[in-house]
Homo-oligomer: A and B are copies of this chain.
Amino acid sequence: MTRAERLAGEIADAILSGEFVPGARLDEQGLADRYGVSRTPVREALRLLATTGLIDMRPRRGATVTQITSEHLFELFVAMGEIEATCARLSALGMSPIERRRLEALHERMGDMARARNEDSYAEANVAFHSAIYAGTHNSALVEIATNLRRRLSPFRRAQFRAPGRLALSHAEHEVVLLAILRGDAAQAHAAMLRHVNLVEDAFEQLSGTQPPREKSA
């Protein structure tokens, strides 16, 4: 692995851990000093991060940690929901029998985790569940888009399963999605996933106190 890639990871961690707050300026020389490298790999790392949306770069004006406005965050959640729903639709249409069985098995294991109130295990399995539905599209372009969006939203979902009862609720919502996929009901899979992700978003809003932007009366 190249130094720039390692750097990109470390800087990303620093951002996600809140060490660099949104809007903070990322000085190339400063980062170079901090990580004991020259500016060259720092620049390449910053370009990598810029493509993930974690930082903003403007020519001759340096890099800053992206300040996600609540409006933009809301848009990201909506986009995520639409993409996930699309993946669920395609999975309902085209998942192989093996993929369906595996998804079902995973869901049952997650039921045990939910009953055991094991939030960490459930969160990990949850990622696997959604990833399986991405993969079920058999479409690498969609997988890439979905994975990208999830990464951009991940910092805002940390406490996702901390809300009381959220674990069982999530599992119940998954079940609706799962059953629709298993019986090949594309429309229902789409609708159920859309509802699931919207509820995740609501849970986030409750936790963070963020309000969705009101519709502008154009």
Contacts and interface: CB of A to CB of B under 8 A. Distances in A.
Interface of A: 1-2, 5, 40, 43-44, 47-48, 51, 59-60, 72, 75-76, 78-79, 82-83, 86, 90, 96-98, 138-142, 145, 149, 218
Given A78-B142, A82-B86, A98-B218, 5 more contacts: A43-B44, A75-B140, A78-B139, A78-B141, A96-B218
Contact of A2 (B59, B76, B78, B149): B59
Most chain B Cβ neighbours within 10 Å, of A59, A82, A138: A82
A72 B140 contact: yes
B47 A97 contact: no
The copy count of this chain in the complex is 2
Contacts of A96: 218
Contacts of A75: 138-142
Given A59-B5, A97-B218, A141 B79 contact: yes
A133 to B, nearest CB: 14
